[in-house]
Amino acid sequence: MNPPAAVPPAAARLTPRPGMAERLSRMIQLPTVSAELEQRGMAPFDAFVALIGELYPLVHAHLELSRHTELGLLFRWRGRRSAADGPLVLMAHYDVVPVDESDPWTHPPFEGHVEGGWVYGRGTLDDKGPLLVILEAVENLLAAGFRPARDVCLSFGGNEETFGAAAREIAASFHTAGELPWLVLDEGGAVVDAPLPFVTGDAAMIGVAEKGVLTLRLSARGEGGHASAPPPMTAVRRIGRAVQRLDAGTFRSHAPTAITRMLGVFARRARGAGRPLYRLLAAAPWLAARVFARMGGETAAFVRTTVAATMAAGGTAANVLPSQASATVNLRIAIGETVEATVARVRRRIADPKVEVTVIEGDEPSPESAVDNAQFAALAGALRASYPGADAVPYIMMQASDSRHFHRFSPAVYRFAPLRMSAAQRASIHGVDERVEIASLEAGERFHRALIEALE
């Protein structure tokens, strides 16, 4: 079927169809837990793909769908311009993380409960809510007879939470074909209120880069035997000492360009002492790095590589010395650093040749995408249509996203989910009582609709 012809810009002011919350509820009811694929099988994932066809019949009819691995979906909406001009790539993932059944959810995590202007359930924020608003915008524009200026591609992965093999193959298909996306937009920041002390108003935090991911295994061997007569250095103690040496001061701090630009925006929105403070920090990256590092937590993570021991193993009984022990360490590599240099730094810090350091997984940090180009301006324009008064603020994303597979060859990659999220909501991602406000979904649909319509 041929796509609809272009219509005037008034298409972006159409009245969206009702029932958005109910459609998200149905998505939430499918437990697409990629980490439990072996236990649950492909049925929830296959049902999700079928559900897209049912809920979005115009997307199903007018967009071309190609499959990449069993879990990767790439929908292409042909635009009026040549594909060589580069498409807009809108990314999301439809898999979710597991749920601990003992956690005290207000509503069952896979019920998709709708109440009081909210939708509750695993995936409402990460990442079925952001996926839904993309589909809603495209379906509404198709219903209005709209056709975009350039191709619009919807890249949906079903295993982002388990290293994103589907998105890797989708990105590779663009690279192999020599097709350079004009703009890639994936999950990441959100619209937040008062993001730092003294800063007022809404800020749309747009990730212009993301930290690298590195997982290491530390392992050591030692004398086994009875616990009643332990040697001075056991395998467990050696691993414990190695982990202890990887403290918060393991990596030096530095402020990348995105952070100083973020501070520059905040300086204009700050009140009282915050205005000169943020202006000073924006002008002195070395000082910003030191201040952020001292603040600790999420703020410190902006300016340095973080390291966290996440798993430990060793031993078979309470009274037996294990002959070997290990620990798994997860690092998020700062912008401007490398996997190789990070591993070398870990080895120097541990300073124990009897601790073996093995790389389990490693992805380099991304380069920083520009904020003075047409692509960032397009995002800011879409924000004006969806969240009036919210500044587009560049920042560094600390989590990994599927977009990292595009940033290796595409220069304009951004990470932003056009949903409003409070601190409590952000804490519920991968946690308990994940939920999204229906009004936020409506604003997210307006964002994507405005972004697509404004393409040139």
Q: Would the CA dihedral through 89, 94, 98, 102 be positive or negative?
A: positive
Query: 211-363: same fold as 9-209+366-453?
Result: no
pLDDT at 296: 86
- CA-wise closest residue to 145 among 58, 52, 74, 54: 58
pLDDT above 80 (res 345)? yes
- For residues 215-233, give the mean pLDDT: 91
- CA-wise closest residue to 298 among 335, 264, 332: 332
pLDDT above 80 (res 434)? yes
pLDDT in tens, 55-90: 999 999 999 999 999 999 999 999 998 877 899 999
- Reduce the DSSP state of residue 274 to 3 states and report it: helix
pLDDT at 6: 45
DSSP count for the chain of H helices, then E strands: 15, 17
pLDDT in tens, 126-143: 999 999 999 999 999 999
pLDDT in tens, 361-407: 999 999 999 999 999 999 999 999 999 999 999 999 998 899 999 98
CA dihedral 104, 110, 112, 117 (to 10 degrees): 30
**pTM metric for this prediction:** 0.92
pLDDT at 2: 45
Calculate what percentage of the chain has a pLDDT beyond 70: 97
Q: Helices marked H in 124-252 — which ranges?
A: 128-143, 165-176, 235-245
pLDDT at 171: 97
421 within 8 A of 54, measured Cβ to Cβ = no
Sketch the domain layout of the chain as residue ranges: 9-209+366-453, 211-363
**Assigned CATH for 211-363:** 3.30.70.360
Cα 265 from Cα 390, distance rounded (Å): 11
- Reduce the DSSP state of residue 11 to 3 states and report it: helix
pLDDT in tens, 310-332: 999 998 899 999 999 999 999 99
User: What strands lie across the sheet with 356-363, from one edge to the other?
Assistant: 306-313, 324-333, 212-221, 356-363
- The neighbour count for residue 226, using CB atoms within 10 Å, is 9
- For residues 444-451, give the mean pLDDT: 98
- CA-wise closest residue to 230 among 354, 326, 325, 319: 319
pLDDT at 227: 87
Q: In the structure encoding, which two tokens stand for residue 380, read together?
A: 């800011």
Cα 226 from Cα 232, distance rounded (Å): 14
- Reduce the DSSP state of residue 447 to 3 states and report it: helix
- For residues 210-217, give the mean pLDDT: 96
pLDDT at 45: 98
**Assigned CATH for 9-209+366-453:** 3.40.630.10
pLDDT in tens, 274-300: 999 999 999 999 999 999 999 888 889
Confidence of residue 219 (pLDDT cuts 50, 70, 90): very high
72 within 8 A of 199, measured Cβ to Cβ = no
pLDDT above 90 (res 224)? no
pLDDT at 13: 67
- For residues 204-214, give the mean pLDDT: 96
pLDDT at 380: 97
Q: In the structure encoding, which two tokens stand for residue 57, read together?
A: 């019949």
- For residues 167-179, give the mean pLDDT: 96
DSSP label of 145: T
Mean pLDDT, the chain, whole residue set: 94
pLDDT above 70 (res 12)? no
Give residues with Cβ within 8 angstroms of 151, minimum separation 6: 76, 77, 78, 79, 81, 83, 87, 88
Cα 393 from Cα 386, distance rounded (Å): 15
- Reduce the DSSP state of residue 406 to 3 states and report it: coil
pLDDT at 1: 45
pLDDT above 90 (res 226)? no
Omega before residue 100 within 30° of 0, cis: no
pLDDT at 214: 96
Cα 412 from Cα 408, distance rounded (Å): 11
- For residues 36-41, give the mean pLDDT: 95
